[in-house]
Amino acid sequence: MKIKSVRARVFEWKGRTVPPQGNFCSNAMDLVYDNRANAHAAGQDTMNTFRFHGWTVVEVETDDGIVGLGNVALAPKIAKAIIDEYLAPLVLGQDPWDYEYLNQRMYRATHAWGRKGVGMAAISAVDIAIWDILGKSVNKPVFKLLGGRTKEKIPCYYSKLYRTDLKEMQAEAAKFLDQGFKAFKMRFGYGPAHGQKGVVENLKSVEAVREVIGYDNDLMLECYMGWNLEYAKRMLPKLEKYQPRWLEEPVIADDIDGYVELNQLTSIPISGGEHEFGLYGFKQLLDRKAVSVVQYDTNRVGGITMALKINALCEAYSVPVIPHAGQMHNYHLTMSSLNCPISEYFPIHDVEVGNELFYYIFDGDPAAENGFLQLDDHKPGLGLTLKTEYLDQFSITE
C-alpha cells in the first residue's frame, strides 16, 4: 500500500453566523487598542482574529483506493500552501504504515520555519489522514491501533459557556445540567484593560454559574490568554472559593515563567497547551511545572503520531491530558489513554467562534448522552465522512 495522492482544500464558511458580542471571551488582543479610524463604528470585537470560519480538509489516497481524512483550522490558506508545496512531496509514494518515518520526515524537512504554529498544524492534518488510512486498511477504529479501549465511555464537559448576559448563561448551564452534564467550562469576558469593573464582572459570572450547577459538579474557567501575570495574581485568590477544577490559559502561551508562578500560587490548577506545538514544547512546560493539565489539540501538535508521544510524556509526569475542542482526532486519543480522563465537548450549534464548523464539514462525531461520549468498536478509521448537507454554504478552494 502506497500513498498515491494528497489533496488539500480550503472550506470557507459563507452561511449565517452569530453576530459578535462585546466581552464575549477575554483574549490576547484585549490589551492592544485599535487605532483604525473606523474602530468605534466596527465595534470592539477583539475575538475577530481568533475566529475560525475556514478549515483545511486533507484527503490522502492510497494506490488501493483508501482515502484518509485530516484537517487543520489554523490559517487554512497558509496550511494548504504548506501541504501542497512542502508536505505532499515528502509522503507521496510512501507506505502509510511507516507513519513515524513520515512524521519525522515532515517535521525535520520544515524545521527551519515550521516547528511551531501553522507548520506543525499542516503536518498534523497529513498525519491524521494517514492514521485514518491505517484504521480503514485493517477495518479497525483508530483508538484500537493506539492501545484500545481504556474506558467504557468518555466523560465530557460542556464547553460553550461564553460570557453573555448572566441570566442567559445560567439558563444555558441549567439546560445542559438537565441533560446529564457534570462538568462545565465558562469563559471570562474581562481582563486587565477593563479595570476593577471587569474584576467585579468576572466574579459575578463565576458566582452565577456556580449558583446553577452547585459544588457537586465541576467548573472550569478559561481566560484564553486574555490576562497578564499581574492581573492573574490578583484574580486567583478571589477565585479560590469557587473551587474551579482548573484555570485555563491565564497568560499568553510564550509566558512560561508566568505559568510557572501562577501554578504554584494557589490551590487552583493552571491548564494550558492549546497553543503549544510538538513534543519538546510540552517537555519544557512539564519540566518547569508550568501546567497541571495539558490541553493540546491533535490537529496542531503534529498529529496522532506526535500526540501519542506527548501522552506518554505527560503520564510520566503524572499530568493529565484533556485535549482541546473535542472532535474525533482527539476522542480516539482520549479513549486509548488512561491519562486522558475527560473530553471537551461542544454541541452542534450555529457558527460562532468556529470550532463548531467541524460539524458542518464532517459527519460521524458522536453526540453526548448524559454527559458521556461513545466510540464505535466497529467503525474503521476515524469514523468520519465528508458532509454534503452544507456544501452550498462554503466557498471551496482546490
Instruction: Name the residues annotated as catalytic.
Output: 324
The set of residues, in sequence order, having a beta carbon less than 8 Å from that of 9 and lying 6+ positions away, is 56, 57, 59, 80, 396, 397, 398
46 grid coordinates: 477583539
Residue from 75, 58, 78, 60 nearest 8 by CA: 58
How many of the other CB atoms lie within 10 Å of CB of 252?
18
Strand partners, 59: 7, 69
The answer to whether 123 touches 114, Cβ cutoff 8 Å, is yes
Residue from 57, 58, 66 nearest 97 by CA: 66
Q: How far is CA 262 from CA 75, 204, 246, 266, 270, in A?
A: 30, 22, 12, 7, 7
- Residue 276, helix vs strand vs coil: coil
209 grid coordinates: 454559574
Strand partners, 218: 183
| Cα torsion 7, 3, 276, 18: sign | positive
246 grid coordinates: 482548573
Strand partners, 157: 344
**For the purposes of burial, counting CB atoms within 10 Å of the CB of 145, is it exposed (0-12), middle (13-18) or buried (19 or more)?**
middle
Q: Which amino acid is at 248?
A: E
The set of residues, in sequence order, having a beta carbon less than 8 Å from that of 392 and lying 6+ positions away, is none
Helices 229-239 + 256-265 axis angle, to 10: 20
The answer to whether 60 touches 129, Cβ cutoff 8 Å, is yes
Length reported for the chain: 398
How many of the other CB atoms lie within 10 Å of CB of 230?
11
